[in-house]
């Protein structure tokens, strides 16, 4: 046994003080009272008991003393927060779902009340309550009073975040696997078999089911872009996926570009539970694309999505007069490039020549002056090894037959990097001989096109940005160990829908895009042991002590009124 509100020593001393005080009060003679004497035989005794100036009297009512001591002790123990030791060898973690799906009607309010009721019945020193709404937030720490939980629940609510998996929260359990733990999920948080397997054997997983959803709902569950199938350099194709629940109708969504309506007839196809719409040749100049469904439904958080389109404007290139025709042909046939010196942002020139403006340049270098067949000049302050590892693949250098090139010119072909104030990509002039294998290979136009794009600072943007998911560029996840890590300082996962600012990259717009929030069951989810909504209620030890004290007070009043006790 222990005390929740006072130290153990104070609790014990309080009991001793109550016992001593009541004993003293039992002996204290506080006032005179009339005594009827039936016979003179007891006169002398009555005189002794009624003597003035006598402070104490004999202890004559032990049963009354014990009754008062019991009532006072019960009141003191409840005030001190007496706790039992049952369950002290087990921890309890309550996960309250605050994702978008809980915004249906009063689902969150009812789930929060059930979570609070369940937590109140747990051992105070062994319970923790966490709110899972994009980011994990602690609502109640071990040892805190449950009244704090009720107050903190008033400050939280569902957010535009997906029904997150709880794998990351299982780290809390695994960190102290030696302590048996009960994890109670309150809400929709889906759990897969793989996530369930992450828990140690000493952990029990329970679910306090949230109230059922009501009404039909349509939500945007996918939004992404890809290069236009028509090969138009300044356009993209947009894919929008709608999912429905409760028999809702799936009509084509409305599109807006930078706030202006963009009308187009999409190509639609149905799948189990939804429809996909493909909008072709959407102009991509860095606008904000907004997608929205029609009428309002049971959940408004998934009715709209946004995506920042890439800037696919053609790159103006300035070409020096003595540049070989083979490069001019590549630039002319590349749909993303245009020869235009007036507003050029990159240049192609021979080594030793200059143009009107100093621009990032593709330079045809002299093998006698430059040791590397391919020399990459990058911004200062970057790790040369990281730059080389990244651009070796990005520029198509990994597809060049270096051995054939070396045999053709009689020199070793190597790639080098160096820091500089302006980006520059140098290649040996002899490699551009029309009869050389490099010029006739598939890697040559790839090298020129990608090289000019790198010089212009054009980065491929993400194809999809969804809350709760890692941002991807093409098929590559943007992470610290990914080849595009220069754009992000760490693994970037938007937690909540809306405008986000990754470190070292342009702002993005994350969307909800969560079928579970819309009402589509998550594939692979497993059932866990269910609890009734009222299992956490019941009477804790403090409540039992207070009720017992009240019952004894009522009994004491009845005994006093019937003159059975003084």
User: 95: closest CA among 167, 184, 156?
Assistant: 184
DSSP 343: T
For residue 39, the model assigns a pLDDT of 62
Contact residues for 116 (Cβ-Cβ < 8 A; gap 6+): 146, 149, 150, 153, 536
Residue 46 to residue 37: CA distance in whole angstroms: 7
Position 292 scores a pLDDT of 92
For 135, other C-beta atoms within 10 Å of its C-beta total 12
Cβ neighbours around 88 below 10 Å, total = 12
For the chain, give the number of residues: 566
pLDDT of residue 5: 62
Query: Are 467 and 482 spatial neighbours (Cβ–Cβ below 8 Å)?
Result: no
User: What is the C-alpha to C-alpha distance for residues 72 and 70, in angstroms, rounded to an integer?
Assistant: 6
Q: Are 79 and 189 in contact (CB under 8 A)?
A: no
d(CA 461, CA 89): 51
Contact between 487 and 504 under an 8 Å Cβ cutoff? The reply is yes
How many other C-beta atoms are found inside a 10 Å radius of the C-beta of residue 192? 16
Give rounded-to-5 percent helix, strand, coil for the chain: 30, 25, 45
Q: CA quadruple 374, 380, 386, 387: dihedral positive or negative?
A: negative
- CA 230, 288, 243: angle at the middle one, nearest 5? 75
CA angle 263/267/268 to nearest 5° reads 115
The pLDDT tens digits along the chain (566 residues) read 556 566 777 777 888 888 888 777 776 655 555 656 566 666 666 666 655 445 456 666 777 778 888 888 888 777 776 665 554 578 888 989 898 989 988 889 999 999 998 998 888 888 899 998 888 889 999 888 888 999 999 999 999 998 765 555 666 666 656 678 888 888 887 777 777 777 777 788 888 877 788 778 889 999 999 888 887 888 899 999 999 876 667 888 999 999 999 888 888 888 877 899 999 999 998 899 999 987 778 888 999 999 999 888 889 999 998 899 999 999 999 888 999 988 999 999 999 888 878 899 999 999 889 989 899 999 888 888 888 888 888 787 877 777 777 777 778 888 999 999 999 999 999 888 877 778 888 888 888 998 999 899 887 778 889 998 887 665 444 433 333 334 443 457 888 999 887 766 678 899 999 888 888 776 655 556 555 433 344 456 677 878 888 888 888 888 777 777 76
DSSP codes joined into one string, 27-70: HB--S------SSGGGHHHHHHHT-TT--B-----HHHHHHHHH
Structure tokens at 460: 């491929």
Measure the CA–CA gap between 317 and 350, rounded to whole angstroms.
14
Question: What is the C-alpha separation between 464 and 307, in angstroms, rounded?
Answer: 8
Cβ(373)–Cβ(405) under 8 Å? yes
How far separated are the first and last CA of the chain, in Å rounded? Answer: 34
pLDDT of residue 148: 92
Pairing of strands 361-365, 424-428: parallel
Residue 283, SS3 per DSSP: strand
CB 425 within 8 A of CB 451: yes
């Amino acid at each position: 046994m222990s005390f929740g509100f006072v130290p153990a020593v104070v609790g014990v001393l309080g009991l001793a003080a109550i016992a001593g005080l009541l004993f003293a009060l039992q002996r204290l003679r506080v006032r005179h009272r009339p005594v009827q004497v039936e016979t003179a035989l007891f006169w002398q005794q009555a005189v002794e008991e009624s003597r003035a100036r006598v402070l104490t009297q004999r202890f004559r009512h032990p049963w009354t003393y014990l009754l008062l001591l019991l009532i006072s002790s019960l009141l003191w123990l409840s005030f001190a927060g007496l706790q039992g030791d049952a369950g002290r060898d087990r921890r309890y973690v309550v996960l309250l779902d605050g994702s978008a799906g809980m915004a249906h009607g009063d689902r969150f309010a009812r789930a929060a009340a059930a979570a609070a009721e369940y937590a109140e019945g747990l051992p105070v020193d062994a319970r923790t309550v966490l709110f899972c709404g994009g980011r994990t937030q602690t609502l109640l720490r071990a040892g805190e009073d449950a009244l704090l939980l009720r107050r903190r629940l008033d400050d939280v609510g569902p957010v535009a975040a997906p029904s997150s998996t709880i794998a990351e929260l299982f780290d809390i359990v695994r960190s102290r696997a030696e302590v048996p733990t009960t994890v109670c999920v309150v809400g929709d948080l889906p759990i897969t078999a793989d996530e369930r397997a992450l828990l140690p054997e000493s952990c029990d997983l329970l679910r306090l089911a949230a109230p059922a959803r009501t009404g039909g709902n349509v939500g945007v569950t996918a939004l992404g872009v890809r290069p236009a199938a028509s090969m138009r350099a300044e356009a993209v194709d947009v894919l929008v996926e709608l999912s429905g629940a409760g028999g809702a109708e799936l009509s084509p969504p409305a599109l807006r570009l930078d706030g202006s309506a963009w009308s187009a007839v999409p190509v639609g196809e149905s799948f189990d539970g939804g429809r996909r719409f493909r909008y072709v040749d959407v102009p991509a100049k860095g606008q904000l694309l907004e997608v929205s469904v029609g009428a309002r439904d049971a959940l408004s958080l998934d009715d709209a999505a946004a995506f920042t389109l890439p800037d696919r404007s053609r790159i103006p290139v300035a070409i020096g007069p003595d540049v070989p025709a083979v490069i001019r042909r590549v630039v002319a046939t590349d749909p993303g490039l245009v020869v235009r010196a007036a507003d050029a942002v990159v240049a192609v020139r021979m080594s030793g020549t200059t143009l009107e403006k100093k621009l990032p340049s593709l330079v045809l270098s002299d093998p006698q002056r430059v040791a590397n067949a391919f020399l990459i000049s990058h911004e200062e302050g970057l790790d040369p090894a990281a730059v080389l590892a990244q651009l070796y693949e990005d520029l198509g250098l990994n597809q060049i037959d270096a051995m054939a090139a070396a045999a053709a010119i009689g020199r070793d072909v190597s790639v080098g990097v160096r820091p500089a104030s302006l980006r520059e990509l140098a290649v040996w002039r002899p490699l551009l001989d029309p009869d050389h294998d490099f010029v006739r290979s598939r890697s040559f136009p790839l090298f020129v096109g990608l090289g000019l794009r790198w010089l212009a600072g054009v980065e491929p943007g993400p194809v999809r940005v969804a809350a709760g998911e890692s941002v991807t560029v093409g098929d590559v996840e943007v992470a610290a160990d990914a080849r595009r890590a220069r754009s992000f300082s760490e693994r970037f996962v938007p937690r909540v829908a809306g405008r986000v600012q990754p470190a070292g990259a342009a702002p993005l717009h994350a969307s909800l895009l969560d079928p579970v929030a819309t009402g589509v069951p998550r594939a692979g989810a497993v059932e866990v042991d269910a609890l009734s909504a009222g299992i956490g209620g019941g009477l804790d030890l403090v409540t039992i002590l207070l009720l017992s004290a009240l019952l004894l007070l009522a009994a004491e009043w009845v005994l006093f009124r019937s003159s059975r006790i003084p």
